[in-house]
Amino acid sequence: MHCGMCLPTCPTYDATKRERNSPRGRISLMRAIADGTLDVTAEFADEMSYCLGCLACQTACPAGVNYSMLFETARGDIERQHAHRGAARAFWRWLTLDVLFSKPRTLRMTGRLMGFYQRSGVEAFVRRAGLTRLLPGTLRRLEPQAPRMARAFSNQLIARREVPRGETRYRVAVLTGCIQDLVFPDINRDTVDVLLANGCAVDTPATQPCCGSIHAHNGLLERAGDQARRLIDLVPPDTYDAIITNAGGCGSHLRHYSDLLGDDPQYRDAARTWDAKLRDVHEWLVEIGSRAPGAAPFDRAISLTYHDSCHLVHGQKVSAQPRALLRQLPGVTVVELMESTWCCGSAGVYALTQPDQAGALLRRKVGHIDATGAQLVATANPGCHLQIARGLGDAGLRIDVAHPISLLASAYRREGDGQARR
Amino acid sequence: MRSLSAPIVEALVSIVGSHAVLTRAEDLVPYSFDGTATLNERPSAVVFPQTTEQVVRCVQLAATHGTPIVTRGSGTGLSGGSVPTPGCVVLCLTQMDAILAVDPRNLTLRAQPGAITQRIDDAAARHGLFYPPDPGSLRISTIGGNVAENSGGLRGLKYGVTRDYVMALEVVLADGRLVRLGSSCVKDVAGYSLKDLFIGSEGTLGVITEVLLKLVPRPAARRTMLALFDRIEDAADTVSAIVAARIIPCTLEFLDRVTAGCVEDYAHVGLPTDCAAVLLMETDGHPAAVADEASQMESIARAHRARDVRTARDDAEALQLAGARRNAFAALARRRPTTILEDVTVPRSELAGMVTFIAETAAAEALQIGTFGHMGDGNLHPTFLTDERNQDEMRRVHRALDAIVKKTLELGGTITGEHGIGLGKKPWLRQQMGDASFELMKQVKQALDPHRLLNPGKIFD
């Protein structure tokens, strides 16, 4: 099937109007390679890097083509055949995929060092002295975009087991993520608080391996399988009513473990149970009929808008639930965002590998956010969160970014204050 | 694949610029097909002209070197009309996509051929006007492609097809001459209506570089309903009865059980999947007329044993239902690897018989067919859900196709209502037209494109 219904939803096709930059075109290249009429070339590798992997095409596809799987398989082929060029690229892949995102303790240690670098004044000195000019190109681009590391990570904010004050209705586990853990551990704390407020006993293992999303996305499917096994061992799905994720990018990968481990007789069944229990936090809250907060999240009434993380709306088909939770908030007016399901350009490491296209998408997104007149934009993925915050800052706009669950947590916390009660 | 000689590539680059000429394999593979199943041919180059002047020069260059040209828009055609011919240059007009003017006093809209159909209606809507033709692919199809294929859509019953909205065309002929055909006058009988020759000519007679379209006032109200039936014949009889009651609704769309199931899998709009036929009925116009027609249509459906008739709550739900229906063809691809779509059309009075015949043929050949279509227009899309790798099954598909075409022609119908002949329907065209009119058509082609440069091998050999 190649009807072309995906074309108008593809941000890269929209930018160039060229078929090869569209889902239909990319699939035709994959098919030509499978049929033996085209080789896995550097051009093909470039094309697959140009794809955001936003999966808007998957929502649009009437025929139900699983682009996500085709995309990851193609990136895998590219890696196996070494179609990508450059030693620098190999080094960065090794550092991120083999070291940082495979060893959670090393990742946290690196996060701690970076936090020290950022706060101690060393960073300020380096920048003042112009020493960043000495960095190689990729790192020079990366340096100002590096997110601010949190002072305390999730394991310092959340106990391994926390139980609600009243009756325990459900037993759940919370996955803390990698970037979420280093940069936004407060969102993990908020997630646990909101779950507690809704009768969930929450287990949060202190040191969690990466879910493998970044490995799968970059063509390392075997490594992704290993990460999945580690996480299943750590969080046995049989034990819980639900396994909760609050990051759109992770969730989209996390709910397809049976695709990765389908051929592994030892883990096949656990992976199936895992997939059945995996829930995005908004999805879970709506499913269990979460309690509407009795207080507003802020002192003053505000208007806010919502940006759909690609992997939440397209990858997980979760878009009504976050909106429903936001509409429950007292003192909050929700304004719809034009093109809310259009990628913001963050897309994992895309902002680093394809800075021009990422920048264009970010400016488009910021323009739409500005047009809503909202004081805050809610979004549920750390990549989008960082990207949009940077875009708003660059544009000189004073609009905050927050995870919907943080707003909900804030509203619950303020219930006791007696103020802003309704 | 034949590659183009270096001087021709250089000449193309000198006309449109190097960024607008593609010759690498990775760029060409994605232009080897359109929306039609199983047809594939790699072009030798793809060119993106930005102006009419550039189109003229590209055609002149191709004429000088005898290089065939296949013009294309977004490549959503369903008969292979824009599939490349061997060795051709694809002239892709998607970058000539400006909507040049909306004239509310004359109720017209002028656009370049690459303008997206949906955008044309959006532009009209900003002036309270309406461009009714709505092919299934309207979110991405181009107006140039619509005109070249004379596309239909869901609103054909009341509003007609693309041809009914084309007032004038600018066309580049095979020898590079530029002609303007038609005018912005409501009445115009000066000479032959040459513009009509190019509408539906599938890119075989000229390259359309500008269109002038007729707009109509946007209807003030609309009501969308779903009627559910346990027998397909009851749905067909309902359609006949509505028309006999002198009601012309804007849409009377039919989906059989298989199609409704696939569409529901995709769109989750609440289509029932357990009844033999679903009729999507829509009436639009003055609010009072809409209310009256809707209630009459509902009673007629109930009188013909409709199990239930539901009305869309609001505009959003109505749009959702119509949008889901537009994706019926692609949604059918959920069941099997290959979907072969037919476009047979019969006089409305013969519809019930045709629907029954299709079901019997599928059963006799042990094939899976999903049927949907514009029941109000007598235009059906029986779609074979099959697998092109299974040779035995494909033989049965072709036998069934032959039988369906034969029956269509017996009933006074046509092999294609809105998709065109392209490559897919070529084998049956002479049979339908008869020798004399088939030869007449070839004479027209001979007169306008004697060297067979424009989309050769389409419609006929």
| DSSP result, A87-132 | HHHHHHHIIIIIIGGG-HHHHHHHHHHHHHHHHSSHHHHHHHTTGG
pLDDT digits (tens, 9 = 90+) for B141-191: 999 999 999 999 999 999 999 999 999 999 999 999 999 999 999 999 999
Residues A202, A240, single domain; the answer is yes
Residue A229 is assigned to a structural domain of this protein: yes
B32 touches chain A (CB under 8 A): yes
Cα torsion for A181, A182, A187, A191, to the nearest 10°? Answer: 10
**Shortest CB distance from B137 goes to which of A3, A24, A38?**
A3
Q: Are residues A255 and A239 in the same domain?
A: yes
| CB within 8 Å: B265 and A64 | yes
Q: B280-302 pLDDT, tens per residue?
A: 999 999 999 999 999 999 999 99
Contact A199, A168 (CB under 8 A): yes
| 8 Å CB contact of B27 and A20 | yes
CATH 3.30.465.10 fits B107-118+128-217, yes or no: yes
The first and second tokens of residue A372, run together, are: 């809503």
Residues of A in contact with B265 (CB under 8 A): 64
Would residue A420 count as lying in a domain? no
Q: Which of B16, B19, B23, B27 to mutate to test the interface with A (most CBs of A within 10 A)?
A: B27
Q: Does residue A2 sit within a domain?
A: no
Question: Are residues B26 and A38, on separate chains, in Cβ contact within 8 Å?
Answer: yes
Q: Least CB-CB distance to A29: which of B26, B34, B76?
A: B26
pLDDT at position B247 is: 95
Residue extents of the structural domains in chain B? 6-92, 107-118+128-217, 221-330
Residues in contact with B295: Cβ distance below 8 Å, sequence separation at least 6, in sequence order: none
Q: Which fold has domain B6-92?
A: 3.30.43
Q: How many residues does chain A have?
A: 422
* A 28-57: CB under 8 A from B: 28-29, 32, 37-38, 41, 43-44, 47
Query: Nearest by CB to A19, which of B31, B267, B339?
Result: B31
Walk across the sheet containing A200-203 and list its strands. Answer: A161-162, A200-203, A170-174, A242-245, A278-280
Q: Are residues A32 and A92 in the same domain?
A: no
A2 touches chain B (CB under 8 A): yes
- Of A128, A145, A162, the residue that ends a domain is A145
What is residue A419's predicted lDDT score, i.e. its pLDDT? 43
In a domain, A12, yes or no: yes
Residues A23 and A106 placed together within one structural domain of the fold: no
Tens digit of each residue's pLDDT (9 = 90 or more) over B53-94: 999 999 999 999 999 999 999 999 999 999 999 999 999 999
CATH number of the domain at A375, please: 3.40.50
Q: Which of A3, A17, A28 is facing B30, going by the closest CB pair?
A: A28
What are the phi and psi torsion angles at B369 (to 5°)?
-125, 135
Q: What is the model's pLDDT at position A420?
A: 37
Looking at the fold, whether A387 and A361 belong to one and the same domain comes out as yes
Q: Per the domain annotation, does A409 fall within a domain? A: yes
Q: Which of B1, B19, B22, B29 to mutate to test the interface with A (most CBs of A within 10 A)?
A: B29
Provide the pLDDT for residue A55: 96
Question: Could you tell me the two tokens for A113?
Answer: 């060092």
ipTM: 0.94
> Is residue A170 domain-shared with residue A280, that is, in the same domain?
yes
Structure tokens at A208: 């969690």
- The residue from A47, A80, A113 where one domain ends is A80
Q: Which residues of chain A have pLDDT under 50?
A: 418-422
State the pLDDT at residue A141: 66
Q: Summarize pLDDT for B180-189 with one digit per residue, the tens.
A: 999 999 999 9
Q: Do A62 and B333 touch (CB under 8 A)?
A: yes
The pLDDT of residue A94 is 82
Q: Is residue A315 part of a domain?
A: yes
Using the 3D structure, point to which of A234, A258, A287 is the last residue of a domain: A287
Domain interval for residue A43: 7-80
Q: Residues A319, A347: one domain?
A: yes
Residue A137 pLDDT: 66
Residue A338 maps to a domain: yes
In a domain, A421, yes or no: no
Question: Which letter does DSSP use for residue B142 in this model?
Answer: B
Give the number of domains in chain A.
4
> Using CA atoms, how far apart are residues B405 and B435, in angstroms rounded to an integer?
17
- Give the pTM: 0.93
* Percent of all residues in chain B with a pLDDT value above 90, rounded to a whole number: 87
Q: Considering only residues 83 to 112 of chain B, which have any Cβ-Cβ distance to chain A shorter than 8 Å? A: 94-95
The CATH class of B221-330 is: alpha beta
